[in-house]
Chain A
């Protein structure tokens, strides 16, 4: 409690922690960004000066305490600064997803009553200009990259650097007021508002206080012994709570350096150059990296392939044990060391993972093969479980206690409870959000009077390890017509572990059997097609190829076989499936911006295909509307082949018959 009281006194807000960092380690790098091919660095002192200049600029625009300032664009130091500048003038930063389209943005801006927007580039400014007239509160847009904006009407538009200059000129007039407002920030004042993408309905604005962010950052940083010398790569959406905790909360608390890549396309090169020591990526990123390694190995010469295979076998056998500090024979240790020289070291270097001391993945289940692959290379990859409402951390895995199918034990400060009847997971922690902005009804249904929050996920504590295991979304877990358990995500994840399969949607709630929609992975299947001399012109054509369907069918049947062994989930075997003619896409509303499947919308949109799966037809013709990146709409028509998959009798049923 002593540390809490102290934190509340001196470090009760992000601007105050910034002041501490600037004072104590002013000449250490705080932010780096690759610009014009060169890494530019800002020390804590320089960053603090930039942030103050922008805060002064906000004052010249008349920013008031409690105003909302929206921030939209790719990860750049200047946009992180904008969030802290907003806090300094008593305003609340609201980061938005940069790939959000017009009406999503309009809804959020109107809901939070944003007066100002800081936009990354012309693309984002264009979106703002499009929706501005329909918004009652938006007054001014500040842009970072001036390219293409020279000739825009600048009545409600100002360049970031220009606003900073105006602020510096007015320093004498506004500095005392900024100091007063910054000093007034307390532990329970709002730190940030993050809109959740929401699998259903309109996004909700999660209000997180300084207490939520700072306590969470402190507890989780201590848990993993994060230090001032860490390097992280900021590349995940700024509107996502994880990025806010890693790149703002923990970075500020520990005083480590946040590195911003040059662009999304240069990520791999930039990551190699930086060599982060603390790294977070969703499972699909690890999956994509592994896929690209495997594809490149298949194209390598015979000797290299032999070397890779030989030493990956060694790593697979003893790597995780060495990482966990378990006893391993001298011979194996020697072989592993040679492997490090020939294979693991160079491979980690190529992937930019050489220096990773703490790596995390979360958001979806990760395939055990993928997880083990990275751990066997000696990368300390762990899993955590969290959500926006908890300021990320609910549970995480401790060093040396890592399993691919659990999400760890509660983070320090978090209490966990599992409802006996519904199996839903509840938690209570210092990171628990204040409220959903202007939505008391949802707040009340999520958080009870004692501060317990419902996660919406069903899970249980694994009796062997004491770790939490998540089965599925609580509302998606259902019953089939005959009363057997229906857990779609469990089955989907099993299928998604095959590199050929990108996305799966399983149906069967309240029905007599399960069916599935499948999206193939264009990279993996495309490479396979090339090697086997199969020509294709589009995703749709490849997805409908009989040989592709055969491969997918064999995957489905393998999964069915493994489900048959699981007494609880044997009812979820997939009887019929189809490979969709288009990739599920967030622009069409089929996925959330964080790429989670929106079941209800898919069920409505493809109702004809689902009907086809259940009425036994062999072919279904359909027309689907698609939305392009710029918001235009088009449609694609296709005739899909529906296939039956072999299902296996379960031990239970055999006993019953």
Chain B
């Protein structure tokens, strides 16, 4: 006998009230597909050229960690952070002065020394307002209390350490290929920081 409650649940879920009405252009602009290009319609040709140049430089720094290249120059205002680090929260843009972003209160004291550094910060307000990444930094422990890392963060077998210190959440990833990555997120609620870190790690580092 079919349960009446099951029928009600079926009717509820298949009704018309769950239409989300997302705009494909808006969604695609937030989702960086394979070899996704900047959208020329959103900027002048000069700005697009500048954005692509910055994206290429930062991508090289990200994919080939350990190079001795200096941090890239400040990006054009319209450069998409998704071009280098997929899954960033909306509103975060690459920061030109990485050291200043790290020192800003609350200072990100737990980052390892050296390595290739990049920073993303929100212009104003927003939930998570700073993300800093260090690729192939020196050996250093992370501050704060250790948090459990779900196994689905590392389908590639990477080793992860996740900690929470004050207003900042840190994660360090040791990939099987020998490279290591440290990410720090601060400025928003702890839950949001964790959700952002999960997205950044699984879409950029461990898959």
> Do these two chains really belong together in a complex?
no
Residue numbers of A with Cβ under 8 A of B are none
